[in-house]
Amino acid sequence: MELRSVEELMDLLHAGRGTRPTADGSGGPVDVHDHALQTAALLRRSHPADKELQVAGLVHGIGRLLRPGDATAHARPAPEWVGPLLGDRVSRLGRLHSGGRPDPRDADDALSLRQACDAGRVAGLHAGVLEDWRTVVELVAAQNSRLGAVD
C-alpha cells in the first residue's frame, strides 16, 4: 500500500491510538500513536531545523498499522509506503531504522532516530497532539513534490 496524500497518512497515524507495539498486543508501555508523537517530539527538540528527520520519527512505526498481526511489520516500516509521499530521505531513514545498511550521509541521523525511538516509550508523557504535526508533514510532502517535478 502506498500512501498518496497527507490526509491518508494522518488518518493512518490516528488509527495507531490504542494499537499496541507488538503483533500480539503486548509489550511497550505506549501505543503506536503516542510512541510516534514522543519520537517526533524528541527529534524536534534535538534537531529543530530538520523537518524530514522529525517526520521520519513520526512515521517510523506505521508498518504495524498497515500490516496488523505481522510480527515483521516494524522491520519494513516507512520506505515503500511513505517514500513516494515524503521523499527519499524519509524513506532511507525508515529503512536504516529497521536495520538497513547505513549510507554514510545518514549515519548520524539514523542514530538520532534510533535514540529517539528508544526514548519515546514513556507511559503518561503527553507529547502534543497529532494535528500539530500536519503542517510539518505537509511541508515535507510539498518539498518532495517540488523535487519530484524537477526530476
The CATH number for 43's domain is 1.10.3210.10
151 band by pLDDT with thresholds 50, 70 and 90: very low
Residue 123, φ and ψ in degrees, nearest 5: -65, 135
Q: Is residue 126 part of a domain?
A: yes
Task: Let me know how long the chain is.
Answer: 151
Q: Is residue 81 part of a domain?
A: yes
Q: CA 101, CA 68: separation in Å to the nearest integer?
A: 26
Q: How many domains does the chain have?
A: 1
All three cell numbers of 113, joined, read: 532516530
Q: Is residue 14 part of a domain?
A: yes
Per-residue DSSP letter, 61: T
The mean pLDDT of the chain is: 83
Q: Does residue 118 have a pLDDT over 80?
A: yes
Q: Does residue 7 have a pLDDT over 50?
A: yes
Q: Is residue 1 part of a domain?
A: no
Q: Is residue 116 part of a domain?
A: yes
Q: CA 20, CA 18: separation in Å to the nearest integer?
A: 6
Q: Which domain holds residue 93?
A: 6-150
Question: What percent of the chain is helix, strand and coil (3-state, nearest 5)?
Answer: 65, 0, 35
Q: Is residue 28 part of a domain?
A: yes
